[in-house]
Each structure stands twice: as C-alpha cells, then as structure tokens.
Structure 1
Amino acid sequence: MSRFYLCIFLLLTTNASFAESFNDDGGWYLGGKLGATVLDIEAANQTSDQDPSTASMGVVAGYNFNDFLSVESDLSSFGKFKQGAEPEKLVAFSTYLLGRYHVSDRAALYAKVGNSIIGNDLNLSGGIGLKYQISQQLELDTGYRLIGDVPNTEDDLYEFSVGINYKFGKNKPAPKVVPPAEPVIVPTTLNSNTLFKFNSAEISDSSALAKLAKKMSASHVEISVEIVAYTDTSGPEAYNLKLSKKRAEAVRDYFIKQGVNKQVINTAWKGEANPIASNKTRAGRIKNRRVDIIYIENNVVYH
C-alpha cells in the first residue's frame, strides 16, 4: 500500500510542469457519485472465499485553485459489512489534495491523496481517475480510491465510482481573433531630376532602378510593384500629365528588361497632383518631380 501512496505523491508533484487549460475557470464545484466497494479482508479474518462488496454513493465538493491543483471533500456511504454478529454501516468523510495531468483539451488524469474519517478513526486515503469536460459546467468523474485500515477490521477498502460534477466558475471567454496588421506603405521616391533627362522620359541614371530590379527579379515569392510618376506645376497641366505617364512607363519598361515579370507591375501617372512640397520655390519643384515605387513581397513593403 505504501507504494501506491508514493506513486500518487510523485504524480501530484509533477503535475505543475505539464498543466494545460482544463479547469481554467477555477472556483467551486459540487457533484454526486455512485460506485462499488470491496473490503479486502485478510485471510485470517475471512469467513468466505470472496471479499465482501456493496454499492456506494456520495456527494462531492471541491475548489479548483488553478489549471492543475484542487482540494476536494466527499461524504460517502459504503453500505453494510458484516463484522461479528451484526453488519455495520460504513460512512466516511474524506478530504484530498488533487492534481491533474492533461491528456487533451477536455480530459485530464488525476491523482489525489488525503485522509478519511470513519467513526472516530483517521485513515490514510488516496485515489486515481479521469475527469472529462462534457460542457463548460458539467464534468464526468470516474475514479478508483483506497482507504487504508478500516476501523474494526484493519483491512483496506477499495471503491470504483462514476460521478458528475457541476462547476460554478465563469465560462471560458472565446479567444480574441486579432487581424493581421496592415502593411505601412512607404514608397521609394526617386527624384526625376536625377533619373531622367530634362523635360524628357529618357532615363539618364539607372543606378537606383538597377538595385530595385535586382531585388525584384531575384525574388522567389509573390511580389507586387506599383509605379506612380509626378511632375511640378511648370508648363501646361495636360503636358505634365502626359510627361508623367511617359516616365512611369519608362520605369516599367526598364524593370521588364531587367527580368521583372510584367504581370506584377502596375503603373499610374498623376501629373501635378499630390505635391510633397511647395511649387512656388525651385527646391520645392525639384522635390515634386518624382517617381514613387512601392514594392511588396509577401505582404511586406520594401523601400
């Protein structure tokens, strides 16, 4: 019997390391159980070839401290066992420290160790079993326990039981689904004064474009490229819109020649729209003559 209690102790002390969410709502629970009881009578005291057995019943109350540790008490009637001339009814009040080892989201093995009071005697007791979560509030409890050295017989009592517990804890809230963050789009801005010849869509310095093209053509995942060209307000508005179109297409054609798939490239031209600086100054107009390139790889923006 000492080996049995040692195994229970080892399971209780290791449960904390393997706990998963099972009774994570915590709190009190109350239940009832039915079972069968066997009194293991020593051969010297036995009056028949079989150990006596009866039906048992009881009520259970407990408290879940956390996912893996509880205290539990029960009041159980084990029926009548004949000891001497008259049968005697065995009733026990037991208190246990209970630990759980979780085998799934709903099921957990448990072990418990404590004491049982029968009459005026305090007896060492322990058990093992399985708890299965039927719903948020209802829990199936199947178990086996041993009460050592029952009074008047000094023999061990074994009980096999099935019960239902009702948990008073709060329902577990549904996990919050956090949508993935939208990528912050920061375009690569190339100045048209450097990129193109004056008042032209002919590329004069392709060094910046070459670096981008090399990265795009080497990619082995899904990419997306958007090219948007702008001008300043110098000259007629219609002419500037046409010039921005030619410049956007020139950058597109350059990328295609460098091996970028033309199917992933989108072009747009805005002419004088969306200035990023004042067109009243020379420095401002230089900034507004630009090409914005947005390169997205696997929803990650590169610039």
Structure 2
Amino acid sequence: MARRHSLTLGDVARVVGSGRESQRRRSEGVSLAVMVGEGASATIARAVREALLPQNETTFVSALPLGSQVPAGLDALVVLPGSPEVAADRAVEAARMGTPAAILVCSQVEERPILASEQVASLVTYLSAADERVAVDKLCEWLVGACPSKSIALAAGIPACRQGVVRSLVRSSALANVGVGVVDLLPGADLPVMAASQARLAFDVAAAYDRRLSVSDFGLIAGGVVLAGLGYRSVSRSVSRALPPLAWAVRGGVAFAGTVVTGAVASACASGMTPQGVAEAAVGGIGKGVEELSARLSQILRQRGREGHRPAGSVYISLGGDGE
C-alpha cells in the first residue's frame, strides 16, 4: 500500500480554508437578552451584567424588565425572576420561538413546572445558585451548550464564556484525533489529517479569543502545527516500536496528548501571554496529555486483563472513555 508522508497543495488549501471559516464564525452576530424581575437578587444581577458585558461590535446583550415582551431573533434568553410564575411564562414564550432560555434562581424552591409541550419545555432550563460566582459559572456553561453553532462568536464577544468554549474545542478535536491515530488504514496518512485538525483547532482558539488573523498568521500557525505533528509522530513511532502489542493505543494516546498541547499553546498565544508563559503552557499541556495517556493505557490494560478471564467473543472498545 502506498504511503503518504507529506501535506499536498490540497491539504494546504483546506487548512487555509479552515482558518477563514474560523474568522467568519468569530464575526457572527450573537444576540442575548437578560430579563430581570423586581425582587431579583441585586448581587447576582450585577454579576451577570458584568459577566455578559459584550467585548465586540457583533455581540448584543439587551437588559429588559421581566414584564417586557420577549424579543424575536435571540440566540438565548436569561431570566432573573422576581416572580417565579412570570419568569416561567417568559421562558416558555422564548422557547416557543425556538430560543433556549435559562431561569437563574437562588434556590430550587423557586423552580416552577414548565407547562408546555415536551419540545418547548426542553428549551427551558433552571439554574440554581445562591452565590454570584457559582451563578455566573453555571450560566456561562449553559450558554456554551445552548449556542453550539455560535460558540466561537459567543466566546469572542463574551470573555466569561471563553474558557468553556476552548475546553470544548480542545476535547472534541483531541477525541477525533484519537480515532485517526488508532485506525492506521493508510500508513503515513495520519500526518496530514491530524495536522489539518490541529491547525483548525488553533484557528478556532484564536477566533474564540477574538483575534483577527492575517495571511502571515495563517502561515505561522499552519507551519508550527505541521512541525509539532512531525515531533508527535516521531514520539509515537518510537514508543510503538517498544510496545508492539499496544502500538494502536500508543498512536491514539499520543494523538490525544499532542492535540491537548496544541490547544494549550494556541490558547496561551491568543491570550497574549509572554514567551515564557507560552512555554509554561506547553509544558502544562504535555503534563495533561501524558496523564491522560497513562490513564487510558491503564484502562486498556485492566480491560484486557478482565477479558483474559472471559470466554472468547466480540470485543468493543470505546475510544472516548466511560460515558462518552
């Protein structure tokens, strides 16, 4: 079978295209609304207002009294109730327009049944938190999940949501690359596929930090990812030769770890860290990746040990870990 060792012009074009797509997603408009009722916690309301303060011109956050009509065209609605019943009504009103809504309460006692169809009720979420920091954390986590198609634009415009979006991007890319590393159908084909995936991750992370990239930035990122990919491949092959029975697991583990490092470095660079800070982030990423690799190898070995005591039969292996 023919080996493929390097990136082609087509691969380069796809990498550049992914960078342009990341920049387009960064500039998408995001429209949020926060409805505040009389009697809502002033401390939590202030914390939410500060956390959702837009940082660019494409993100819009409206503050409205709870008695107002829900605006059309929102990406998400946040309700801070004074009256639990009215809050539920406003959330259902938004959900009927296809807008996900979160009702942020101080206690579960304030929660009310959502009197609507199952489809509408699925768009309404209660978030309970008495502490403003916890409230903001839960709200940002909910927003990231509620706006998946605009997560990069959300992170670019609302810094409080940034870490959650970046974690999701890194994890998704890392798990996808595990499959590429494990399934070695065409020897040598993993480098261009993983390089494209990791370059896309780096572009997405930069966009999540609201970084406007130039043509030269595209070249620097793509070149850095390819060089790192060559290093990851060298490590993977060396360890695989030392552990032939687990070569497939080593390839997948190194792919995961390498992607985590790429995400850590991209995040450090995009956040404006000093070169020393970027280097420390890379070391931290390596530590996280090695820890994850060790955990997954241990899990595989334990699974293989248990299978040694079972009758022969079909074996299914989950690449994403338990529950994924």
Larger radius of gyration between Structure 1 and Structure 2: 1
Larger strand fraction of residues: 1
TM bucket normalised to smaller: under 0.3
TM-score (norm 2): 0.21
TM-score by length of 1: 0.22
More helix by share: 2
Structure with larger RCO (C-alpha < 8 A, sep 6+): 2
